[in-house]
Amino acid sequence: MIKVIFGDKGTGKTKKIIGMANGAAAEGLGDVVFIDSSNRYTIALDRKIRYIDINDYDIKDLREFYGFLSGVIAQNYDIDKIYIDGLLDMYRQEESVIETFFTELEKLTNNFNVKFYMTMSGNPENIPVFLKEYIL
């Protein structure tokens, strides 16, 4: 399962996804990972959550990010949910590349039963058609 919180900057997406991650950690049904490009929210996350600052790794685009996610899952089969804050802020790419990334991410979620939740900034009136099925 993939779910996206999509909206303009400053609309509370990060706060919402942090709340979701903390709720998942409290449920204790599996391991929770939170990926962000800044460490300014680490204090708001439950300490049971595995936090990853993506800037600590030299990942240039969504294809490499997909490989990174595959590695994260491969090293821990107990991961239930992965939260990604600001996907488009991390990797600005063409719509077709983003669509391919989501197609590949579907394979990960189906093969390993990992649920992905992410925030993406943009004008909700201009949301790409392929993303509409993932909107939370």
For the chain, strand residue ranges (E) read 2-7, 31-36, 50-53, 79-84, 115-121
Instruction: Provide mean pLDDT across the span 72-96.
Output: 91
DSSP 62-108: HHHHHHHHHHHHHH-TTEEEEEES-HHHH----HHHHHHHHHHHHHH
What does the pLDDT average to over 83-107?
91
Q: What is the pLDDT of residue 47?
A: 93
**Predicted confidence band of residue 42 (pLDDT cuts 50, 70, 90):** confident
Token pair of 7 as six digits: 């909206």
Q: What is the pLDDT of residue 126?
A: 87
Q: Are 53 and 85 in contact (CB under 8 A)?
A: no
Domains of the chain, each with CATH number or no CATH: 2-121 (3.40.50.300)
Q: Determine the pLDDT at residue 132.
A: 93
pLDDT value of position 39: 81
Residue 56 has pLDDT above 90, yes or no: yes
Q: Is 78's pLDDT higher than 90?
A: yes
Question: What proportion of the chain, given as a percentage, has pLDDT over 70?
Answer: 100
Q: What is the pLDDT of residue 51?
A: 96
